[in-house]
Amino acid sequence: MFHRGELSLHTKGRGTYDITRDVTAIVSASGARVGLATAFVHHTSASLIVCENADPDVRRDLDAFFARLVPDGDRIFSHDAEGPDDMPAHVRTVLTQTSIGIPIAGRRLDLGTWQGLYLWEHRHAGHARRVTVSIVGE
């Protein structure tokens, strides 16, 4: 079987947004008992990560690390049509993931105990973001 689901979210600016529950709902709707759910984000300034879901400090530290690694307004960048966070958002996206494939078992996402799936908004302004989940299985 193949099943396709979509989710949309409106971010409030740079940071991580937990989409585990939304993707889980798509997996349930698919009826798949076992399989693979591949999430894909339709943007180049937001990305996907699987990250520790217990301590919010982890995602704050992640963002602090990436803000230092890829500084807004870095003079190495010539592309700044949308501002100082434009090109850094593209770099941060390329350094993380545009798609992630997660196993399905027992009719649910088979994530590790401490794993959550997050959309990472890399722009400072809020944006409407779209994620497609492609499910294969039986």
- The site for its own copies, by CB under 8 A, has a size of 58
Question: What is the closest distance, in whole angstroms, from the C-beta atom of residue 53 to its own copies in the complex?
Answer: 8
Question: What is the closest distance, in whole angstroms, from the C-beta atom of residue 121 to its own copies in the complex?
Answer: 14
Q: Which residues pair with 130 in a beta bridge?
A: 8
Q: Which residues pair with 50 in a beta bridge?
A: 117
Please tell me whether residue 23 binds its own copies under the rule CB under 8 A.
Answer: no
Tokens of 72: 């807004």
Q: Where are the beta strands (DSSP E) in the chain?
A: 2-10, 15-18, 35-41, 46-52, 99-105, 108-109, 115-121, 128-137
Please tell me whether residue 8 binds its own copies under the rule CB under 8 A.
Answer: no
Q: Which is nearer to its own copies, 60 or 108 (CB)?
A: 60
73, 84, 103, 126: which one binds its own copies (CB under 8 A): 103
Q: Which stretch binds its own copies (CB under 8 A): 7-15, 18-26, 47-55?
A: 47-55
The angle subtended at Cα 52 by Cα 131 and Cα 114, nearest 5°, is: 105
Q: Which residue has the tokens 């529950």?
A: 21
Which residues inside 108-137 make contact with its own copies, applying CB under 8 A?
110-112, 114-115, 130, 132, 134, 136-137
